[in-house]
Amino acid sequence: MAKIVYRKAGRKALHPIVIAGAVIVFGGALLNLVWPKRTQIELENRSPAKFPSFSVASLEKGNWQQSFSNWFQDQFMLRDQWINAQRATDEIVFQKVEEDGILLGKDHWMFTKLFTINTTTQKQLAKNVQAVAEFAGRYPGKVSFLLAPSASVIYPENLPAGAPMIDENAMLDSIFTEIGETADVLDLRDAFTANKEEYLYFKTDHHWTPYGAYLAYQQFCTLKGLTPFDLAAHESETIEDFQGTHYSATRLWNVENDSITYYPIDNLMTVFDVPAEAQFEEIKTENLINTEKFSTRDKYAAFLDGNNGYSVIEGNGTGSILVVKDSYANSFVPYLTENYAKIGVVDFRNFRYGLDSTIEKEGYDQVLILYNFQTFIADKNLVNLSRPSSL
């Protein structure tokens, strides 16, 4: 007869795995509370979400919970390491060729994904083309238009196999044809393709390199009959270990860092604030290349010290030129000091006014509109070209 064992009634003992799991969860939560809070997410070049102020109304609407979740995600301990591990798993195990809108190409290339252009962007592009064409029509013989092609146009062989990118070449042809009726157009595709073995674009960032900017500058000098800045007559400096915006989005585990080779041009630049009233207000005067930013993550921001609304640079040449630009122009503009006595720089992200009275008041002889393709097609600020100036 089998022996029957009677046990005293009571709770069952917790399994060791359950106990260990609870310790990890609650211990991790407590550790996360005391973990040093970051004031800047450097890899993403942004400030973290702020801890939300509590109110019953925000709790009922769910706003507080969402804000708390955003804060918690940004302040989670070892956040960058967890993200890097997840991205490496995506690429190695799941063979992903896209991460956060960036295509992971061959030979460590990273490209901005652009498979389709939605209706909103198509309408904005039409407005931008019209704004540039009409602006150039108001200043016959004075306006040049330079639209940098995407890296994927110059290096299509390094895209992931079968990536259905838009036909950028066809779109560039159409843009240049329409704007070319009133402005001098600079089409860089032939020159860049002929020199594609050179270091024209960063692999980890969406910008061209300073040498890519120089090659574009050479084409501009040819168009205008100018003598280019002589690279051979100047000493260059190189900044290593640049990881740009594409890397910040992908956290590619086997990233091949970029380098920035530049020429330490020491011309002065005055940065202005542009208030609602009639006068520019001087903010600071500094070197047009802020070398201190080469020691930060956003190293490209050293050129022109970022994207200021309106700046004026002292050049070594004659005459004057106003550059209306996106950030591609930042590494291009320093070369213009060889050819012009005065270079004005406008970035519409921080300059909300028309240009007509600025051109008249400052006496600019020429205007260069310089953008890259992917910014140009969607930039809502370019319509300011046709906005009457309040200055």
Question: Would you say residue 317 has pLDDT above 60?
Answer: yes
What is the tens place of the pLDDT at every residue in 125-166? Answer: 999 999 999 999 999 999 999 999 999 999 999 999 889 999
- To the question of pTM greater than 0.85 for the whole model, the response is no
Residue 18: both structure tokens together: 């359950």
Give the separation between CA 146 and CA 370, rounded to whole angstroms.
5
Residue by residue, DSSP assigns 213-268 as HHHHHHHHHHHHT-PPP-GGGS--EEEEEE--HHHHHH--TT---EEEEE-----E
Question: Would you say residue 84 has pLDDT above 60?
Answer: no
Q: Return the top range by mean pLDDT from 47-61, 267-281, 347-361.
A: 347-361
What's residue 249's pLDDT? Answer: 87
**Beta-carbon-side half-sphere exposure of residue 339 (alpha carbons within 13 Å):** 21
What is the tens place of the pLDDT at every residue in 232-249? Answer: 999 999 999 999 999 988
pLDDT band at 38 (very low <50, low <70, confident <90, very high): low
Angle between helices 168-179 and 119-138 (to 10 degrees): 30
Tell me the average pLDDT of the chain: 85
What's residue 390's pLDDT? Answer: 47
Q: How many C-beta neighbours within 10 Å does residue 338 have?
A: 19
Closest CA to 148 of 293, 330, 342, 345: 330
